[in-house]
Structure formats: structure tokens, C-alpha cells
Amino acid sequence: MTLTHPSALPATDPNDWRDAVYELFRASAIRQVVYVPDAGHTRLIDRCHADPDMHAVVLSTEEEGVAHLAGAWLGGDRGVMLMQSSGVGNCVNMFSLLAACRLPFVTLVTMRGEWGEFNPWQVQMGRTTPDILKISGLTVHRVDDPADVAETVDSALRIAFDGSQGVAVLLSQRLIGRKDFTAED
Amino acid sequence: MSAALLDRRDVVARLLADRRDLLVVSGLGSATYDCAAAGDDPRNFYLWGAMGGTAALALGLALAQPTKPVLGITGDGDLLMGLGTLTTIGAQAPANLSIIVLDNEVYGETGEQPTATAHGTDLTAVARACRLNAVDEVADMAGVEALAARLHAGDGPLFANIKIAPGNPEKVLPARDGAYLRDRFRGAVLGDAA
């Protein structure tokens, strides 16, 4: 199988919040990480792919991930979904599964369209994502400072898996850095 | 082609008759009623909503329980709503997962409006193109019998699209409280670890 992630990754950098989140996933026994990619999640996705104890699963659409993680939980696996704010809208009907079955669910959402956004097509979901998550019954944490990421994700994992709740962590566009449309990427 | 299309209740009853350690996820509507009619079991997870999610939910379960056979059984409408999931299943290729579609070519719950399969969409060909091990036409009960054995063979991801007769048999309604279905399923699969 050909995967695009690097075969050898650098060791954990204690100053990199993405590495801190990965270590938290390991410490919290996260076994399935499902995602529709975002540039802000790249390093975390790479690390999950490289981990033989995790299934890293790329999805065709984010709503798939809600159902996928419901199945994972029914089978005894903890999971997390990584997506960007545009994906939240794709999940809305599938979020009813979380409410109907009172399932634990954690998603880390990289925000677009809220800070210095170049692409106006991203702005709508950037604006509506927090409210959509809240009215869908999820608890929403937001992070702007890299120093707060690990602690916030830890809180989300505890709320979700200790109490069968849905939690979303919004990683703000200021934190991620806005996408540069002038450089080769 | 056989003379008569198969009866959905006969098909599901046969698939589950000797289920052993099979874990079942059923799609909303008739597939859920069919599984209930075949005999309630705590290892059945009945969907009453979340349309388009049956195959994805079965995939997450199959990855979590790789030593047990997992069956996602659903209708053509539900599979069509989440058709992209076949690409995800093909990429993950879990050997213990089977997806079976009861294809009556209509949205049976809402007035029998034709689905795309009525107009020629070939779900077997789609699944094969997504690298699932798709079986050819299952046209009689001998074929269903062979398929029931394949569920336990561990040579998946297996896919079968079964053309079934039109009509809605009497509804057999299982429990619909999701938290209850979740707890009893996890209890049956995970025991004390649930």
C-alpha cells in the first residue's frame, strides 16, 4: 500500500502542540482517528498513520466519520475525528446518532473563514460552525493560544469518554495560521 | 435470472439463521424490521435514522472487532446516500466486514419512489470498482445459503447486492431507544469491559 505520509517521522517536539495532541491520543487509548484532511492537521494525521496501534482512516465526507466512530465505540474503540470547519455542515443529520444513542464523540475542527481569510467561500461555515455544533448538542471548546491546546483536548476527551457526551474543539484560524494563497503549497 | 425475485424476510432469516459470533448493523426502515423479524439479538444494532450511515458504522465496528465477522445490511436508498463509504471500505479492506444490500429499487418507506438502481445503477459494479470483493448476482436461496457461509470466511470486505421482491411485509419493530440498544450491544460484545 502506498501512503503519502513519511515513513520516518521526527521525534516528539514538546513545543509543538500537534505532537502534544498526538501524545494525548496515545495516553487516552485513542484507537481510531478518522479525518477529512486539513493543512492544519497534517502533522497530527501523519503521526497517527505512522502509529501501528491506531487506525487512521481517510473519509469521503465528514458525516461518514460520525457513523464510523459510533461503530468503533460499539466495538470498544475510542476514536476522534479531525476535520475543518467546512466539514461540520456535512455532519448535521448524522449528529442525531450521537443524541439518539448518547454516544461519546470528539472532533478537532480547524477553523477557516474567521481570521484574515482570503477565500470568501470559506466564510459562511467559519461563521456558523460554533452555533451548528451547539444546537446539535455538542459541547464546544475553542482554542486561540498554542499553549492551551493540549489541556483543552484533554478536557474534551474526558467529557466525552467519561460521560458519553459529544465535544468539539475549535482550533482557531489565528492558532493554525491563515492559508497563504501566494506561495506554492 | 431466476423466475421470481427473492423475499426479503426469507433472505435475512437465512443469513442470520446460523449467525454464530456475527455482529449485525441494520439500516433504517425495512432492513431493521427484517433483522428484528429474524429474531431479536443483543448483537443486532438497529438504526432507526442516520440515513447513509450503515456501511460507515459497520466499518468502524469491523476495525474495532477484527476477530469477529461484521455484517452491515441495508437497503439501496441508504447505501446510495452514503455511497462514498464504499471507497473508504475499499481503502481499509477489513477482511471481517460484509455489506449486503436488499435492493428493491424503491424508497419503500416513503411511497415507493424509484431509486437510481431502478434506472440501472449497478451497485455490484460500483462496489467492485471500490475494490470490495463483490459477489455476482444472488438470484435464489442456494445463493443466499452460500453467501451466509461467506460472512464467516474472513475474505472480505465482501459485498452483495440482492434484488428482492417489491412490497412491504408487516413491520416488526424492535426497540428504538438508542442508548438501550448501545448498552446491550456493548454488553454482549465487550462483556465486563463495556
Provide the residue ranges of all domains of chain A, joining segments of one domain with +.
17-176
In a domain, B1, yes or no: no
Give dist(CA A140, CA A133) in Å, integer: 7
A67-95: pLDDT as tens digits: 999 999 999 999 999 999 999 999 999 99
Amino acid at A139: T
Question: Peptide bond preceding B114: is omega within 30 degrees of 0, i.e. cis?
Answer: no
Candidates A57, A79, A96; nearest CB to B50: A96
A146-167: pLDDT as tens digits: 999 999 999 999 999 999 999 9
Contact B49 A97 (CB under 8 A): yes
In a domain, B28, yes or no: yes
In a domain, B117, yes or no: yes
Residue B167: give its domain's CATH number. 3.40.50.970
Could you count the other beta carbons within 10 Å of the beta carbon of residue A58? Answer: 17
In a domain, B155, yes or no: yes
Structural domain range at position B12 = 8-193
C-alpha separations of A145 from A45, A127, A149, A175, B111 in Å: 21, 20, 7, 6, 53
The pLDDT value recorded for residue A4 is 46
| A17-176, CATH topology level | Rossmann fold (3.40.50)
Q: How far is CA A159 from the centre of its chain?
A: 15
Number of domains comprising chain B: 1
In a domain, B154, yes or no: yes
In a domain, B129, yes or no: yes
In a domain, B2, yes or no: no
Q: Burial level of B28, CB count in 10 A (0-12/13-18/19+)? A: buried
- What is chain A's pLDDT, residue by residue, as a tens digit (185 residues)? 444 454 455 677 878 899 999 999 999 999 999 999 999 999 999 999 999 999 999 999 999 999 999 999 999 999 999 999 999 999 999 999 999 999 999 999 999 999 888 899 999 999 999 999 999 999 999 999 999 999 999 999 999 999 999 999 999 999 988 777 776 54
Give dist(CA B99, CA B69) in Å, integer: 11
Could you count the other beta carbons within 10 Å of the beta carbon of residue A184? Answer: 4
> Which residues of chain B from 136 to 175 reach within 8 Å of chain A, CB to CB?
none
- Across the 194 residues of chain B, what is the mean pLDDT of every consecutive 10-residue run? 82 97 97 98 98 98 98 98 98 98 95 97 98 96 97 97 93 97 98 88
In a domain, B55, yes or no: yes
Q: What is the ipTM of this complex?
A: 0.97
Contact B63 A77 (CB under 8 A): yes
Contact B64 A94 (CB under 8 A): no
Q: Are A151 and A165 in contact (CB under 8 A)?
A: no
